[in-house]
Structure 1
């Protein structure tokens, strides 16, 4: 049996739309991707989860939410709006943009310095709060008290930096394999001054990101697992009962995202 070329067409992610935005906060272009649950929102509005590195992570998180929210009573994930924030093109990542937007300044170690522009985190946060969230909320009713943030790797560092500097900016924070090595002293300083906040926090990392990855000496030097466990303990001392640390035994820096997405969605539900 032969199939004509017309038998195939592009696959479209259900419930998802996308648009390009030029941020007033920094003048840079971003692609916002939006997944909205079917049906009417609750009276207060749907919860919302902002997912950074949207070009790479949005499809994974949006489809995980769509599948799990189908049976919320079993999965612990209720219907919610997923907003992906990514580069203005269709590639998964933009390395230069990530270094600029997710960092409050240069890295602590000289070996990581000088490759890209850094220090744009404050302007990027302003874009999220003042532009991206209102644009998404203009399409569907959202509960302003239940907006959470998820970031992976360097975006995970950004999420932790926001937590320690602006804890009330989001209702919950999911930092997956966060690049704590970028500037751990800044995070520890922020934790030391952290005031009580109702925000829930997830720190997740793959066990294979340290020691079990002999071919990746640089990542081993960064002590990915040790750093997450240490910071989690420090955060727990400041915010007892608010911090959850997950070390997934069979996951690495890339694979951990799919597993942690479920935990992040449950955290966003529980806020």
Structure 2
């Protein structure tokens, strides 16, 4: 079993609550506060192996000061299946595709947005992206990664072709596109995919060749300052039909 290290209270709480996650060990500090003791009692109730460490040992386990007194060894995040998700629903699916994302904090925030608004699947490119198994990704996602279906793929264009075969209309979010995201409407029964460009570079030509239409987020301020996390949140609200002109 491949392992990963996660740290922080929310990530570990969500891993405990998850129906699919396997937790091998949890390490904790002594002298926990009331909330920490509550989490420790949950760990005991679930009969998860746990061990008390000092602050130096805890830090060495996760290499982060953001552990909040808890570090865990868990199984790796499982890759979701596009076919399984499609077979379970078939209509009204909403999918986000990010071919490349390098910053773990941005990836964690992106996962958090997608899970909060019940996006059906997040597809993340492997090449040029940070490792989705990083503890910092789980920490920034506040544990949402334990519940969000994620497909990591080294062949994004192939995934887009498979989506098209399943009657998805594929939009690309591109700052240079003339058509605003606010001008585009879709039915609740439509299968819709939104592809976001990589940080600082936008959508690559190879990806654009597999997209049906490109759209942009309108800007009213002077600076085009949305990072990929902010763009994703806007895109998610649009996919859910909650973004109004």
Q: Which of these two proteins has the greater Rg computed from alpha carbons?
A: 2
Q: Do the structures match in fold with TM over 0.5?
A: no
TM range (shorter): 0.3 to 0.5
More helix by share: 1
TM-score (norm 1): 0.35
Query: TM-score of the superposition, structure 2-length normalised?
Result: 0.38
